[in-house]
């Protein structure tokens, strides 16, 4: 059966947009490696992500049920994020993509360099 993921309102397309983004994959990996994390812990583990981008990506993953957000009524407020069952189910595939990128990074970087030289 042929899948049509080119349709404008295709749910699979929007799901893939949310879970395959640069930051989403790294956030999922961080939560998979560390378990429950707070916003600043996630931010520090990723390094160069802006607070806005982290907030947007976390909300997107939460909306899709991939991660959960728990807010504690404390001062200062404490918010924790963790993978849901759906997130844990996705994690092996995320790690496959990360491992593939790690294994092929030199070849890809060489290819990018060659393309820049031709341009």
Over 80: is that where the pLDDT of 1 sits? no
Of 73, 84, 72, 78, residue with least CA distance to 31: 84
Provide the whole-model pTM: 0.85
Q: Is the pLDDT of residue 9 over 90?
A: no
What confidence tens digit (pLDDT) does each residue in 75-109 have?
A: 988 999 999 999 999 999 999 999 999 999 999 99
Q: Which helix (H) or strand (E) holds 46?
A: helix 39-46
* Strand 37-38 with 67-72, pairing: unpaired
Nearest to 84, CA basis, from 30, 32, 19, 18: 32
Residue 2: pLDDT band by 50, 70, 90 thresholds?
A: low
Domains contained in the chain, CATH given = 12-117 (1.10.10.10)
* Average pLDDT estimate for 22-45: 97
- Quick one: pLDDT at residue 34? 98
Give the C-alpha separation, 56 to 76, whole Å: 22
Task: Return phi, psi of residue 33, to 5°.
Answer: -80, -35
Per-residue pLDDT reduced to its tens digit, 43-67: 999 999 999 999 999 999 999 999 9
């Amino acid at each position: 059966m042929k899948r049509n993921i080119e349709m404008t309102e295709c749910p699979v397309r929007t799901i893939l947009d949310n879970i395959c983004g640069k930051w989403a994959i790294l956030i999922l990996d961080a939560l998979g490696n560390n378990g429950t994390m707070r916003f600043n812990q996630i931010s520090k583990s990723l390094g160069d992500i802006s607070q806005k981008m982290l907030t947007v990506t976390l909300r997107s993953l939460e909306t899709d049920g991939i991660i959960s957000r728990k807010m504690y009524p404390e001062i200062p407020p404490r918010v924790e994020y963790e993978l849901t069952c759906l997130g844990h189910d996705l994690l092996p595939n995320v790690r496959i993509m990360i491992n593939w990128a790690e294994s092929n990074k030199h070849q890809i970087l060489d290819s990018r360099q060659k393309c820049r030289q031709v341009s």
